[in-house]
Structure 1
């Protein structure tokens, strides 16, 4: 069985996909190592903007500003993945903060979300690949009896 190839997305396609959604995953280096968080985001020129509260994300960004950000999804019979790497910086300057506050950034969870962060996109990569029919992975053991979940 030969695997169908994936193909690399150009920067324009990656940004188009980033603009098509508002939910992604932010990867930071926390006190105990790598951490990944689902976050809402929006595009601001060639950067991503997120809004967050006090806690692990903002502390990690202050200590280690280098981050990765990912979105992925499925469209028809293909899947895609886009990764953004760059430095994250808390927005504190009044003029920048005024511009950012007007962006459509609605966090999923309630609570105080008074920190705005900009991720400067230094590297944007993506790929698209065909979705394999799930029956491809069936085997003689697929229908075997299993112990009930405990």
Structure 2
């Protein structure tokens, strides 16, 4: 399977840096909460999910019956985003890919990833997002200014 595409550095502004593929994957592995965007009917939905990255470089999360599961079953094309703010730097990772519900041994293996749900409850389905496009950026933030 070909590696997901990472856009070449094209930003000339020194306040913006394109993260390398390794930096981008490391950031994805370090975090546990992201935002999943998906289509359902004629609407775009954006929801937080607790996730992990498996050994196949897929974003994996559990979900219960509901909008998320319906969305990925009817239209597998999704987007996923994480970000972080650290003093005067901000980083963002955005990916696009295809989601599918895992079954059997594949679901069991993916379900071993550490995740810390925010809300208790049963989430029976395991979903994996295979990454097609991946990009990461780092932004140097200016100090806040007061407007007069």
Does TM, normalized by the shorter one, top 0.5? Answer: yes
Question: Is 1:123 matched up with 2:139?
Answer: no
Give the equivalent residue in structure 2 for 1:47. Answer: 58
Does the 8 Å CA contact 1:51/1:105 hold for their aligned counterparts?
no
Distance 2:98 2:113 in 1: 20
User: Helix, strand or coil for the counterpart of 1:117?
Assistant: strand
Distance 1:103 1:7 in 2: 30
Distance 2:63 2:117 in 1: 8
User: Helix, strand or coil for the counterpart of 1:119?
Assistant: strand
Give the equivalent residue in structure 2 for 1:96. Answer: 106
Deviates more, 1:113-122 or 1:68-77: 68-77
1:65 Cα deviation from its structure 2 partner: 0.4
Distance 2:143 2:126 in 1: 41
Give the gaps of 5 or more residues in structure 1.
141-150
Does the 8 Å CA contact 2:94/2:136 hold for their aligned counterparts?
yes
Match of 1:105 among 109, 112, 115: 115
Distance 2:18 2:42 in 1: 33
Query: What RMSD over aligned residues (CA atoms) do the two structures have, in Å?
Result: 1.4
1:102 Cα deviation from its structure 2 partner: 1.8
Question: Is 1:78 matched up with 2:89?
Answer: yes
Q: How many residues align?
A: 135
1:123 Cα deviation from its structure 2 partner: 1.0
| 1:49-99: CA deviation from partner (whole Å, max 9, x where unpaired) | 01111100000000110000000011232100001110000001x110221
Return the TM-score normalized by structure 1.
0.85
User: Helix, strand or coil for the counterpart of 2:82?
Assistant: strand
Give the gaps of 5 or more residues in structure 2.
1-12
Distance 2:48 2:147 in 1: 34
Does the 8 Å CA contact 2:32/2:116 hold for their aligned counterparts?
no
Distance 1:32 1:40 in 2: 25
Return the TM-score normalized by structure 2.
0.86
Distance 2:17 2:116 in 1: 33
